[in-house]
Chain A
Amino acid sequence: MAGEPKKVITDGQDVRRHPVMEYVRGVGPFLAVVVQFALIVLVVDYWQLESLSLARLMNLAFAGFIIHHLLPLRFRLPFFGLLSILAVVTGVGHLGPNVFAGWLSGRVTTSSTVYHLLPGLTLVAIGLVLIGICHLPIRFWMRIVLVGLVGAILTMLRAQSRLFPDIAEMWVILGSMFMFRLIVYLYDLKHRTAPFSLSRAIAYFFLLPNVCFPLFPVVDYKTFCSTYYNEDWPRIYQSGLRWMVRGVFQLLLYRIVYQFAPLDVYKLSSALDVAGCILGMYLLYLRVSGTFHLIVGLLHMFGFNLPETHHLYLLASSFTDFWRRINIYWKDFVMKLFFYPTHFALRRIGPIRAMSVATIITFLATWVLHSWQWFWIRGRPLLSWKDFAFWMILAGLVLVNAIRETTGVRKRTLSPARITLRRRVIFGLKAGAVFCAMCILWAFWSCQSWAEFQTLLDAASSPTLRDIAIVASVIVVVCICGMLWGQSSRETSEGRGTQASREPFHFWRSASVVTLGALCLLAVPSVATRMDPNIQKSIARLHGDVLNARDLATQRRGYYEELDVARMENWQWHMAEDPEGWRKGDKVFFRDRPDFLLREIVPSVSTVLGNAAITSNHLGMRDREYEQTKQPGTYRIVLLGASNDMGFGVKDDQTYENLTEDRLDQQPPGAGYSRYEILNFSVAGYSILQRVLRLEDAGFQFQPDAAILSVSAVDDQFLASHLRKALIAGVNPPAEYREIVERVVHEAGVNGKMPAVMIERRLQPYATELWQWSFRRFAQQCRQHGVRPLVLYRPAPVDFAGLEPAIRSKTLELARAEGIEIIDLSPAFDSVTDRNTLILGKWDDHTTPLGHRLLADQLYKDLARVLESRPPTASSSSK
């Protein structure tokens, strides 16, 4: 009977053994499985894959696996159900061992502990209600209506989830568990295609790994039941371990692509960069295939011998083949629910027409259901023309292929040995062609906007021979892989024995490979670091789920330009979304200007930005109150910078500028002044041009003795976005700035009617020239006004891209060339081992109060030294 564990089968013979003997014979393989599983748990923990919750879940699953295996067969499924519920109840509310230990020791109150359980318990209760409705002793259509009603209520509650902050964490997982599986369950319940029981239903809906993965494969209920211990347990467990290792490898590969591929369209400088970007975007899907492998592998450890979720989709030889191989569970789900019913209903209009309509409906459903999925994960639906276009283009490609397959004759063989070299070559060429087409289509889908896609094409407009040769060799590699491994017999995820399962199974060989793979993943970083210490930084970037340089840059843009949600979504998939209201104060604190400065701080306002109170003085600075006229005996400094200098995300008295000012007053350097003032003219998002202009526009009116121009490694993007915004708004630069700006705009070939991203990308090569000009202007203006010019280099709290040393030395060289004194705060963060403590959050890399304190310590030291020395003359410093 489906769902019942099968007897142990060895060498194809059905042998009944004494249960005790069976256990004894199984000890060796079982211990091997335990060791491999433990290694995988360590690997997940070591690489901090996905989240802390996953590491905890893996520990729970490991302990649960041992108990599960030792239990008599009839108790295993109920045990798995209970274990899954335990994972949900503790996992959703983040009830970790610390809270539990705190409760045991009395540090955490019982009510607080129970509070942690609330979201998980709510989820389980709602889930049980939904399952209960499916089995009510009423007509089936009435059950459907009831489920629909409850679903509609839950949908409304999900849309208003902020009204229920105590259970906010559970919506994503609830949606992930029920949004598709409930449909499959009802379908199978209607047709009675599988056995039903409470423990099966609980096990099916609350699937153990689901609590960590909102994006979860659509497991088919019938397959779930029919594959339960349908083979020898060593084979099932070993397959699971192999898949988990494969999943881990894919997730690490994903991280390599995510961290190192040139994914920032704004910074593409050659056709090769574009090819890398397009390939990188496609390969980002490794995250999905990796997590799905990990999930299904984990389920194997509890007897669910589920089939593959992805099968070498990068080597698909046609678009139908691609559709069959990528996310096989999804394909089966929409085929079962939409394609077959539509096709069968329309058979009378002819097979081709029926297939065409069914295919279009299937892809439309895929588009709508992806939006539905998005809604449950994010809280609002995703209905964009880009997604629609992507699915419809794919539908068209698949349909054309399918019609060709229906009308033509696809060569099929009973024996793989008959595949000739010629056929292999054809397979390889097809794999290469489909790979290229899918890369481009995927890039179109992944780009944040049509303009970004246009920019991508624009950047690839003049390839060099070297670019073409490199891209061609990558395609050749894909073709060769397609020739060797491209052919597939994988068509369905349905649970009957596949060809692979009938092949000879070598337990110990597989166990050795998995053990070796896991050990490599644990040992390689330390071995590689010993061999080449420079690799340490790269490996550090692969540890943990941190945003890459592009996503952090996109976020910075987001803060200042109020980017629409669609542009933000690329990092939000990484669960790095900024909390509600993080940037709300932006609109209160800043206002637009009609001139080249474009924006400024509103005088005398208080609001909250980045979760910290922020106040502006009556002069429009994020600073304390000052008189415009300098008091005698006062040394006055103006600070010109951007958001970190302004103190985004820290309180008024925590900015490094105020801390330094206090320190200078408490411990004045021996420069003969009784009072020191630092007037903060920094405005979030200001480019170097705006900072210098701000000095000329306002700073000099305050009779400063010194002007500090703060610069950092990420300032290039502000320059490009400043000019782009000015161009689009039609704002002319002031007369003195006009020549350089107009020349750069002319040479870059940009104008205000072009897509924003294209303007910025084309302006990137002129950044150095603009920096040079700005430093020169800054130095000249300061000297004209008798002000001491200083350039302050402020280190980035985290340097994910590893670009800081090069940018720092280039920037400071430019400043020195103009005779400007340098205050280099680079060593400020040297004492911090965990740089993540210096950023406000995963979603925001602005400096924390700790970072500001460290910057202030360093600045005081350096500034005191500078102020005690005489300013160099222009001629001497130029030398």
Chain B
Amino acid sequence: MNEQEIKTSIKNFILNEYLPGEDPAALTDTTALMTTGILDSIAVLKVVTFLENEFGITIEPHEAVVDNLNTISDIARLVITKKTA
């Protein structure tokens, strides 16, 4: 899976799960998710579960933070780092 595929997968999940009916084009790789309230602390848990199941990685509690999960790009970077580690 390359970076673009990872981003697409994450984007689809977020659109389906949290933004049903929203214009997919409005959700860009740099749209802030946590600092705008789209992903709250409970939603973050679901995202983490999704990432672990989808990409076969393990995310530590201290990694479930705004630095790693605020945008689709941030999340993809986290996934890639984890997969290559």
Contacts and interface: CB of A to CB of B under 8 A. Distances in A.
B29 to A, nearest CB: 14
Contacts of A191: 60, 62
Given A324-B40, A490-B37, A497-B35, A351 B61 contact: no
B82 interface: no
Contacts of B64: 340, 344
Contact of B18 (A187, A340, A343, A412): A412
A488 B22 CA distance: 19
A340 B59 CA distance: 11
Of listed B18, B46, B59, residue having the most chain A CB within 10 A = B18
B75 to A, nearest CB: 14
B38 A406 contact: no
B71 to A, nearest CB: 10
Contacts of B31: 414
A489 B37 contact: yes
Nearest to A354: B45
Interface in B1-39: 18-20, 22-23, 26-27, 31-32, 34-39
A409 interface: yes
Interface string A384-415: 00000000000000000010011001101111
Given A355-B45, A414-B22, A415-B26, A494 B65 contact: yes
Given A351-B45, A351-B46, A406-B46, A499 B62 contact: no
Contact of A491 (B40, B48, B60, B61): B40
A412 B38 contact: yes
A347 interface: yes
B54 interface: no
A489 B45 contact: no
B70 to A, nearest CB: 6
Contacts of A339: 41
Contacts of A193: 62, 65
A340 B70 CA distance: 17
Contacts of B45: 343, 351, 355
B66 A492 contact: yes
A498 B35 contact: yes
Where chain B touches its partner, the secondary structure class is: loop
A847 to B, nearest CB: 55
A402 B43 CA distance: 10
Nearest to A402: B42
Interface residues of B, number: 31
B73 to A, nearest CB: 13
A496 interface: yes
Given A412-B19, A496-B67, A344 B40 contact: no
Contacts of A351: 45-46, 49
Contacts of B65: 193, 222, 494
Nearest to B58: A344
A344 B61 contact: yes
B62 A491 contact: no
Contacts of A409: 20
B33 to A, nearest CB: 10
B19 A492 contact: no
Interface string A173-193: 000000000000001000101
26 contacts: A193-B62, A320-B42, A339-B41, A340-B61, A340-B62, A340-B64, A344-B61, A402-B42, A406-B46, A409-B20, A410-B18, A412-B38, A414-B19, A414-B22, A414-B38, A489-B35, A489-B36, A491-B39, A492-B34, A492-B35, A494-B67, A496-B32, A496-B35, A497-B35, A499-B35, A499-B36
Interface of A: 187, 191, 193, 222, 320, 324, 335-336, 339-341, 343-344, 347, 351, 355, 402, 405-406, 409-410, 412-415, 488-492, 494-499
Given A336-B62, A341-B61, A489-B36, 11 more contacts: A191-B60, A222-B65, A336-B61, A340-B62, A409-B20, A412-B38, A414-B27, A414-B38, A496-B67, A499-B35, A499-B36
Interface of B: 18-20, 22-23, 26-27, 31-32, 34-42, 45-46, 48-49, 59-62, 64-67, 70
Closest 5 interchain pairs by CB? A489-B37, A340-B61, A494-B66, A191-B62, A341-B61
